[in-house]
Structure 1
């Protein structure tokens, strides 16, 4: 979603804290370890994001040194690998943290979508000298689909427009080779190099905000009253689960049956994007990332309502299972009538995410927080 879209989302979701006594569910000794684990988990995830983005940049630069089909394929694989870690980090959004702070957050330069392909082609075909400053200044200029930077700009440059019913886009590597096609190959190479470098810098800035032992956002976050920090955690999970994932990323495409409304439409990686978004929600609730595990929201909820905690964990797994059941590619699953197998699977995943979101609201209530989501 574009930054403007995210701000609209935030305008429809507000939270009010309910009072908690000293022995309440968010009492300091119970909640502080959960807040600290969240901060550590966030840093672990963003460290993985930066590591994978560096591998993407290295693969892109090798491709640009000597374009070939093999090196283009390697760069595409690196992009897909990078999306796994980033997709899970979406659970840290939607409460004005470092990535999407209204004034300083770089999210709009990192993951904005949907993207107008002609807009990037127009910049490449233009006469203005290319630079990182130009690319970021053009991002979302005069329109939400005027995306010039981030993962999806790189995706379009690597795959090209998807005109294949059964697979992703298939841009030829010769689009980056001088003298073979009238394609502005030199400027396309330069653009891909610059936009990948900018992505690295933006992601590094977000990771730095969560680094331990620094005078940064993480330090302020863990110093907050636990109920304020948990409120932010639940805001991120509820907003991603409901209005963003079930809504913007799935229902819009389901209703419109248009591949332009799917998240990663050039690479046909949307099914994996959706899965990793949902996995990120589960990660935060359980306090884990990869093989690293710690105290999560589940332990707070289990202390006040064990049955609700089990229901929440079941909802989280049900959403993952429902998304995984959607046949790839996503742009074909949304087609046909409502009784077609693909659309039924997409609808089932949307319903699972909505039920999950409702249970997250119940979780918040059990912890003394009133969560008002769209």
Structure 2
């Protein structure tokens, strides 16, 4: 053995035997944890948020192109492509819902969340439904279809009077879900002049409502853009208060929204109208992406649209520096929630039907229970790092 190889072997042996146990030495993992602070977590979170919103915006623009191609030459193939692009964009948007519930750019008093993702939707407010061929803004020639007018009409006269956002677009692409085994099946002829009344207005509505969604997503994305005097710059300087907001967002999504509004309500009512993405039968994926978004923030990780992995300072590391066991328990519980949501089968509107012992209901209840438990652990995690004032959204 040469001297160089011998030294390498000795050094390797020291590291393998636990160099971190020697006075004055720390392992790489320990050094990384020690360097994590409220400031680094807030800064890393902002980077993750911007990446996720940027990917959502890019995917929504791809959807806009697919919708434009469909509207230019309506066909079944073009409609299928537009639907596929909606589903693809939702994969990214669903993860961004972990950035809500603390008065940030998405849902402060002036935030566009209500225009972006409001639900459940009274579809007859927008277009015809079974038994009512002349209902909706589309079938009212006196209503001028513009972005400003659609924004004014959104939730006007009732929170189910939804005129904008993902679910309005979803309804215009799929139509009512009248099938027990699959999604809605709106014919592409709805957009062909002479095949369905007001096809021209339907084309205009779908075009304009998509433009409005792009505008709203761009607004939120720019609020988190780096190097500007915007919400992100203030958030990064917020220290512990920003970390508090992060945990409020995760805890509120876990219990109040994901477990409560999106699963428990539907379990209790067994009504398709309480399903999140009812027209496309994509609700099972909504649950997974919401749970994944929580995991992303907790672990400081995110898989970009191009497949690249982003890793930033995380809450798990910050909590782990104070209480390693609690951080590990919380990470495991969040992973269980992701797995439980992945177990929910499509279509969601059939999973909620039956008695307490129905397999689908048990799968959803397992996800509810797991998300509820993780919300409790998130509160404990906040307490472990000295944050005690938490106001979480409750179901």
TM-score by length of 2: 0.86
- The answer for the alignment partner of 1:13 in structure 2 is none
Q: Which residues of 2 match residues 352-363 of structure 1 at below 5 A?
A: 352-363=370-381
Judging changes above 3 Å, is the alpha-carbon distance between structure 1 residues 372 and 203 closer, same or farther for their aligned structure 2 residues?
Answer: closer
Shift of 1:180: 1.7
SS at 1:289 equivalent: strand
Q: CA deviation at 1:328?
A: 1.1
Separation (CA, whole Å) in 2 of partners of 1:234 and 1:200: 28
Query: Which residue among 97, 105, 112 is the counterpart of 2:111?
Result: 105
Counterpart in the other structure of 2:81: 74
Q: 2: distance between equivalents of 1:304 and 1:223?
A: 22
Tell me how far apart the structure 2 counterparts of residues 221 and 372 of structure 1 sit (CA, whole Å). 18
Question: Which blocks of at least 5 consecutive residues in structure 1 are unaligned?
Answer: 1-25
Q: Distance in 2 between matches of 1:42 and 1:287?
A: 10
Largest Rg, 1 or 2: 2
3-state SS of paired residue (2:126): helix
Q: Which runs of 5+ in 2 are unaligned?
A: 1-32, 128-135, 304-308
Q: How many residues align?
A: 346
Match of 1:161 in 2: 176
Which residue does 1:251 correspond to in 2? Answer: 264
The equivalent residue for 1:135 is 150
**1:220 maps to what in 2?**
234
- Which whole-Å deviations, capped at 9, do the CAs of 1:37-82 have from their partners, x for residues lacking one? 0000000000001000000100000000000000000000000001
Give the alignment's Cα RMSD to 1 decimal.
1.3
Greater relative contact order structure (CA < 8 Å, 6+ sep) = 1
For residue 294 of structure 1, report the CA deviation from its aligned partner. Answer: 1.7
Aligned counterparts of 1:65 and 1:223: Cα–Cα separation in 2: 47
Corresponding position: 1:119 with 2:132? no
Distance 1:242 1:344 in 2: 18
- Where do residues 1-374 of structure 1 align in structure 2 (5 Å cutoff)? 30-102=37-109, 104-121=110-127, 122-127=136-141, 128-181=143-196, 183-224=197-238, 226-290=239-303, 291-370=309-388, 371-373=390-392, 374=394
Distance 2:268 2:117 in 1: 22
**1:237: how far off?**
0.4
Distance (whole Å) between structure 1 residues aligned to residue 365 and residue 47 of structure 2: 35
Runs of 4 or more above 3 Å deviation: 26-29
Paired with 1:29 and 1:259, the residues of 2 have a C-alpha distance of: 45
- Give SS of 1:180's match: coil
Instruction: Report if the CA contact (8 A) 2:101-2:249 is conserved.
Output: yes
Q: Deviations over 1:211-264 (max 9, x none)?
A: 00011000111112x110100000100000001110001100000000110100
Alpha carbons 2:36, 2:317 under 8 Å: kept: no
Q: Whole-Å Cα distance in 2 between the matches of residues 27 and 372 of structure 1?
A: 29
> 1:372: how far off?
4.3
The aligned residue for residue 6 of structure 1 is none
Partner of 1:99, secondary structure, is coil
Per-residue deviation, residues 10-29 of structure 1 (Å, max 9, x unmatched): xxxxxxxxxxxxxxxx9996
Give the Cα separation in 2 of the matches to 1:116 and 1:339: 31
